[in-house]
Amino acid sequence: MRNSRILFICLIFLYRQLCQAQSHYPGQHQGKFALNDKFTPAVYAFDLHNVRLLDGRFKDNMLREQAWLRRLNTRQLLHSFRNNAGIFDANEGGYFLIKKYGGWESLDCDLRGHTTGHLLSGLALMYAQTGDEYYKLKSDSLVKGLAEVQAVLNQEGYLSAFPQELINRNIAGKSVWAPWYTLHKIFSGLIDQYLYCDNQQALNVAEKMGMWAYKKLQNVDSNQRSIMLRNEFGGINESFYNLYAITGKKEYQWLGQFFYHNEIIDLLKQRKDILAPKHANTFIPKLLGLTRNYELDGLGDSDTIAKFFWDTVIEHHTFATGSNSDKEHFFKPDELSKHLTGYTGETCNVYNMLKLTKHLFTHTREMKYIEYYEKALFNHILGQQDPATGMVSYFLPMLAGAHKVYSTPENSFWCCVGSGFENHAKYGESIYYHDDNGVFINLFIASQLNWKEKGLTLQQETSFPASGQTRFIITTAPTQPLALHFRFPSWAKSMSVLLNGKPQKIKTSAGSYSTLSRIWKPNDIVEISFPMELQLKATNDNSSKVSITYGPIVLAGKQGSVQMESPAPYSDPNKYNDYYTYQYNVPANIVTKLDINNQNIAESIEAMADQPLTFKAKKEGIILQPLYNIHHERYVVYWDLK
């Protein structure tokens, strides 16, 4: 049952799975699904339950994330919700004081409660990724607590850690910090609990919230609607479309359409780059809702608009790391070199761009989407987490001599902490895709795929990117012919394929797939090699300002830890945005120029013997390593060429 339901949320919502779900669960999915009969996906997403991470850097990050998830206290997470409903947490007949979380979860912060929504998603994803019942049990306790709050509030299904007055202020156009954004996180978390953890109570709570929203917004006129949509509402439209897909109830479809932001989307229809100076994480989720609507009901130009937006962001607003924005806002197109500050690369932007990328890849199977996904996953998301503590960074600074700054266990809870609970719990979701006849292997991450429907178990063993090699072992083989499509990355100068030790002649080119199709046998082994090389990547507005990559990996120059602030910032529970007050105090002697021969980079930069992924700029003596591996130290990503 669980696998069929999870397919709803795998970002493709394919016809066959939806029809199967409707027939399998007629009591849960009333009415007909209004699907776009013109939409035919190019590939299908695998259920996260069918992929397991094997030992490697990604699994290490996931294990650190698990430790943080286990430390977070359910009573503390529910406290603000219970406070809003007037529920006192009692122990043996007496009241006791609960330690309150700080930062964006403070009781006087408009966004309080958003972390619990993210955490519900993170726990659900972690349960799916690992199968560990602990995460389901902890999820169940949170959902039960939220259901209790919803019942005690008794406000036609309304549920939040703040009173409806914040919603009223938004509708009236008064100052308030993103109440629908916060509700979106709760909706999304509850839906994920239903899809990944089979929690029917979670769906019931989400449906009641949806019906409250439907009644609440029925009488909002067009002028009020225009005003309220100028406030950040996250991906609330996506959640309503997902509820519509699961239940078939038109009220949720209406809600999804209500949050269609005409003032923004209608300009994108004209293929105009209107991004600057808009708040990036407000902007990107609007396209996620648009894409879901296309997949379900097929508004004719929705897919075209989403693809134009994606192309615009990637081609004109994205750093070498796959991140974007400066102080959370888009800037003018093709001005990257003017925005290398300490506040570039908000992690939530990358989180949402990756979600949109997955949608568009399933629509088209175009390689450019996976090329971006790999870039952003390895260079930003993987390096967001501090290996020493498991905490995460809000920004990925491009300022020469800056460094990563991390959250605290109980006094931050920014949006990027919340999305971080999801980022490091779902690494397995885009490694593999499939069509009816085969598997598309997109990412080189140590993992195991179990495609039960085809009788295939595939194990990928790799130390990539330390090595440009990966090995696939067929553990369980199907009885019918099956194709394995191996991505030939555009950054690879060549690619070789061995099947059981024998070279295979495969005609393909970089930026496409190499395919082996046969009746596989248990213990068949495919070995792929793709040599990597150093390259310079110039900013799109200054050919002399470059980053250095090795394959898809961005290398940064290590600059030591002189004059770094201690203790870490962001520790004051009463400050919500103190990251903007942080001073990097970059020393004047930071090296920002390199003498590099463009025609032969190896003359200027050498690999360090016996030190994987470590290089040295010969003249300057600067050590270069993957940006994702540099922590608690200053670095330089973009260099001036001498």
Predicted confidence at residue 564, as pLDDT, reads: 82
Name residue, tokens 């932001």.
Answer: 261
Q: With contact defined as beta carbons under 8 Å apart, do 347 and 396 qualify?
A: yes
Q: Which of 120-134, 337-351, 566-580 has the lowest mean pLDDT?
A: 566-580
Predicted confidence at residue 100, as pLDDT, reads: 86
Rounded to whole angstroms, how far apart are CA atoms 492 and 531?
6
Query: What Å distances lie between residue 236 and 292, 450, 479, 606, CA to CA?
Result: 12, 33, 44, 49
Q: What is the pLDDT of residues 217-261, one digit of tens each?
A: 999 999 999 999 999 999 999 999 999 999 999 999 999 999 999
Look at residue 9 and tell me whether its pLDDT is greater than 70. Answer: no
Query: What Å distances lie between residue 371 and 61, 214, 491, 510, CA to CA?
Result: 22, 40, 9, 11
114-130 vs 74-85: helix axis angle to the nearest 10?
140
| Percent of residues, the chain, with pLDDT higher than 70 | 90
Q: What is the pLDDT of residues 289-329, one digit of tens each?
A: 999 999 998 767 899 999 999 999 999 999 999 999 999 99
Rounded to whole angstroms, how far apart are CA atoms 347 and 351?
6
Mean pLDDT of 178-198: 97
- Going by pLDDT thresholds of 50, 70 and 90, the confidence category of residue 563 is confident
Residue bearing the bigger pLDDT, 581 or 640: 640
Predicted confidence at residue 200, as pLDDT, reads: 97
Q: What is the pLDDT of residues 133-146, one digit of tens each?
A: 999 999 999 999 99
Look at residue 48 and tell me whether its pLDDT is greater than 60. Answer: yes
pTM comes to: 0.92
Question: Which CATH architecture does the domain made up of 432-462+469-529 adopt?
Answer: Sandwich (2.60)
The helix (run of H) or strand (run of E) holding residue 556 is strand 553-558
Rounded to whole angstroms, how far apart are CA atoms 349 and 279?
10
Predicted confidence at residue 6, as pLDDT, reads: 42
Q: What is the DSSP string of 579-602?
A: GGG------TT---EE---TT-GG
Q: What is the pLDDT of residues 327-349, one digit of tens each?
A: 999 999 999 999 999 999 999 99
Strands 469-476 and 482-488: unpaired
Q: Which of 85-99, 132-146, 365-379 has the lowest mean pLDDT?
A: 85-99
Predicted confidence at residue 206, as pLDDT, reads: 98
- Going by pLDDT thresholds of 50, 70 and 90, the confidence category of residue 38 is low
Rounded to whole angstroms, how far apart are CA atoms 233 and 211?
18
Look at residue 10 and tell me whether its pLDDT is greater than 60. Answer: no
- Boundaries of every domain in the chain: 72-247, 432-462+469-529, 534-641
Q: With contact defined as beta carbons under 8 Å apart, do 67 and 391 qualify?
A: no
Rounded to whole angstroms, how far apart are CA atoms 272 and 464?
39
Helix (H, G, I), strand (E, B) or coil at 389: coil
Q: What is the pLDDT of residues 589-631, one digit of tens each?
A: 999 999 998 888 989 999 998 899 999 999 999 999 999 999 9
Look at residue 18 and tell me whether its pLDDT is greater than 60. Answer: no
| Percent of residues, the chain, with pLDDT higher than 90 | 82
Predicted confidence at residue 96, as pLDDT, reads: 53
Q: Which of 195-209, 291-305, 376-390, 548-562 has the lowest mean pLDDT?
A: 291-305
Look at residue 569 and tell me whether its pLDDT is greater than 90. Answer: no
Look at residue 545 and tell me whether its pLDDT is greater than 60. Answer: yes
Predicted confidence at residue 374, as pLDDT, reads: 98
Look at residue 570 and tell me whether its pLDDT is greater than 50. Answer: no
Predicted confidence at residue 16, as pLDDT, reads: 32
- Going by pLDDT thresholds of 50, 70 and 90, the confidence category of residue 36 is low
Max Cα separation, the chain? 77
Mean pLDDT of 31-40: 52
Average pLDDT, the chain: 90
Mean pLDDT of 546-573: 80
- Going by pLDDT thresholds of 50, 70 and 90, the confidence category of residue 11 is very low
